[in-house]
Structure 1
Amino acid sequence: MTLRFTKGHGTRNDFVLLADTRGDLDLAPQQVRRLADRRAGVGADGVIRLAPTAAVARAGEEVADAVLAAEPRAIWFMDYRNGDGTVAEMCGNGVRVFAAFAESLGLADLSDGDELALGTRGGVKRVRREPGGWYAVDMGPWSFPGGPDAVASGSDAAVMAAGWDAPRPALSVDLGNPHTVVALSRPAELDALDLTRAPAVDPAPPHGTNVELVVPLGEETASDGVTVGRVRMRVHERGVGETLSCGTGACAAALAVRAWASAGAADPDRVPTTWFVEVPGGEVRVRLLEGGHVELAGPAELAFSGELDLG
């Protein structure tokens, strides 16, 4: 079985992209693992299949029916798989790379400010291209699963990482996929973390979770005079391990840090709604939108294309 692929990345969170425009490619977990293998395959954090949303619906994915009901223009679906072959709801960096891939295939044109609506297991995502070349994604609604009590106390979970003497408090954030955010005090502590093993989360989420370790870096004034926040982050992604970036993780980190900052602020309304998140692979921007949505913006690059015989 020979597959034509494209390799792409968003702040070095990298993906193998497959154009399945007829919707007849059925990827098995072992094939995903082979594609993502950095020694025996192409190498990536995950695999993205671009397929017709209608074909995904016919294959039995009820969420694809819901996507088309919510947005008939979302004719393309991002079928995202983690590097270990497991199915995931969506990926924020992957959505941007998906949009760049769709443009390269002539399936979308965002050059005139047009918007691409696409389907994911986390719902409809809308992407536009900014003048500087970054792709901005309305990631849709988000929530704190622990509710107001968790926000008020600052945590609803505990995380234990390798080398720590005791667990640290953490806040759960849902962006269509699960996240658990832990605050650290210093960049040096973040740099010294051992993320070769997955941090333990208590209570353990039923479907696993991405764990973000973050250091709030305070606020600054942007070139347009707007006050923005800044956060540094590392992440351990479920089904993958540590990655150089995570889009939904960056959103979760910004939302958690903003909640913590608001709880201690004399005037919560003055806490920034825009945050720049520094990750090992670069930088992304997170912005709160009206209606309880959040936007993620950052680069998306297609590196090369080729063919791989999966044998």
Structure 2
Amino acid sequence: MRFSKMHGAGNDFVVLDLRDGREAPSPALCRALADRHTGVGCDQILTIEATPTAGVVARYGIFNADGSRAGQCGNGARCVAAWLRRDADARGSALPDRFDVESPAGRHAVEFTADGRVRLDMGRPDFEPARIPLAGFTHADDCRLAVDGDAIAFSAVSMGNPHAVIRVDDIAAAEVERLGPALQRDAAFPDSVNVGFVEVVDRGHLRLRVYERGVGETLACGSGACAAAVVAMRDGWVERGVDVALPGGTLHIDWPDDAATVAMTGPAAFVFEGEWIA
């Protein structure tokens, strides 16, 4: 089984081409591929799949390192776009600078910028508790929970997957490894949750660490960057265009107004090609 190893701002992936009709990887295979000691090593496995949707180049599936499925992955979507463009070039049928791909969360427009980055339409954020899902709350802003003996304030939002965003004064001192899994286990998040710890640097810059469901803390999380940015924008902490610095790199997030879709711009890089022999 051929694969490509890629990353977007340090968030790394194993990309599999399943357009020939092969089945999606089993949870056991996902765990084997993702293992950083005995496998290829990655945060997620991305599957390139054929789609009947008119005007869409391909759809992609997302599997976490533990084998569970994910609904959205912004860094992965940029890597999928770069993979599709390179594959088209190799086949002699170049793709334009703009085209559409399809994730489990819906259809996304991608655009290759002049500086080599990829801009992705991430859709509209959803703050409705039932659709995040967030249980036991009538609103998703300034929520409070008793977690591991602490009173935690957070805001929740869906970017095609659930996010809890916690504002901290110092990102380096955030208790990511303790509070992240504790929030994920809480009954308020019936489908678990990606937990973002965000520090406001100034009106145009955020710092972020994300404890991702099914993975743990990652070097970058694209949907998490969008979630942190829209919460910060909605609460008036920052402007409507902001740089989000994660441990693995920086993403730029634009959300012109509450009715608009969110745009994320960032890198997509190839690492190596390989063949998995079971």
- Give how far 1:22 is off: 1.5
Match of residue 252, structure 2, among 285, 295, 301: 285
Moved >4 Å (runs of 4+)? 107-110
Asked if the contact 1:198–1:236 (Cα under 8 Å) also holds between the matched residues in 2, the reply is: yes
Asked if the contact 2:241–2:256 (Cα under 8 Å) also holds between the matched residues in 1, the reply is: no
Q: Is residue 2:269 matched to residue 1:294? A: no
**Structure 2 segments unaligned to the other structure (5+ residues):** 131-137
* TM-score, with length taken from structure 2: 0.88
- Give how far 1:289 is off: 4.3
CA 1:160–1:245: 2 relative to 1, 3 Å: farther
Distance 2:229 2:197 in 1: 11
SS of 2:276's equivalent?
A: strand
Distance 1:196 1:174 in 2: 19
CA 1:173–1:94: 2 relative to 1, 3 Å: same
Asked if the contact 2:12–2:43 (Cα under 8 Å) also holds between the matched residues in 1, the reply is: yes
The residue type paired with residue 308 of structure 1 is W
Corresponding position of 1:243: 218
Match of residue 255, structure 1, among 212, 230, 234: 230
Asked if the contact 1:9–1:15 (Cα under 8 Å) also holds between the matched residues in 2, the reply is: yes
Asked if the contact 1:157–1:172 (Cα under 8 Å) also holds between the matched residues in 2, the reply is: no
Match of residue 182, structure 1, among 146, 161, 166: 166
CA 1:197–1:248: 2 relative to 1, 3 Å: closer
Corresponding position of 1:194: 177
Corresponding position of 1:222: none
Distance 1:43 1:172 in 2: 30
Distance 1:166 1:196 in 2: 9
- Give how far 1:146 is off: 4.1
Q: Is residue 2:142 matched to residue 1:155? A: yes
Corresponding position of 2:152: 168
Match of residue 61, structure 2, among 79, 96, 117: 79
- Give how far 1:197 is off: 6.2
Choose 19-28 or 137-146, whichever is displaced more. 19-28
Asked if the contact 2:147–2:179 (Cα under 8 Å) also holds between the matched residues in 1, the reply is: no
Corresponding position of 1:62: none
Q: Is residue 2:90 matched to residue 1:122? A: no
Distance 1:298 1:109 in 2: 22
Distance 1:217 1:177 in 2: 26
**Structure 1 segments unaligned to the other structure (5+ residues):** 55-67, 220-228, 263-270
SS of 1:284's equivalent?
A: strand
Corresponding position of 2:73: 91
CA 1:282–1:159: 2 relative to 1, 3 Å: farther
- Give how far 1:237 is off: 0.5
* TM-score, with length taken from structure 1: 0.79
Match of residue 19, structure 2, among 18, 21, 26: 21
Distance 1:231 1:307 in 2: 39
Identity %: 33
SS of 2:191's equivalent?
A: coil
What does the per-residue CA deviation read over 1:249-268, in whole Å, with 9 as the maximum and x for residues that have no partner? 00000111122226xxxxxx
Asked if the contact 1:195–1:242 (Cα under 8 Å) also holds between the matched residues in 2, the reply is: no
Asked if the contact 1:175–1:252 (Cα under 8 Å) also holds between the matched residues in 2, the reply is: yes
CA-atom RMSD, angstroms? 2.3
- Give how far 1:119 is off: 1.0
What does the per-residue CA deviation read over 1:224-269, in whole Å, with 9 as the maximum and x for residues that have no partner? xxxxx2110100100111100000000000111122226xxxxxxx
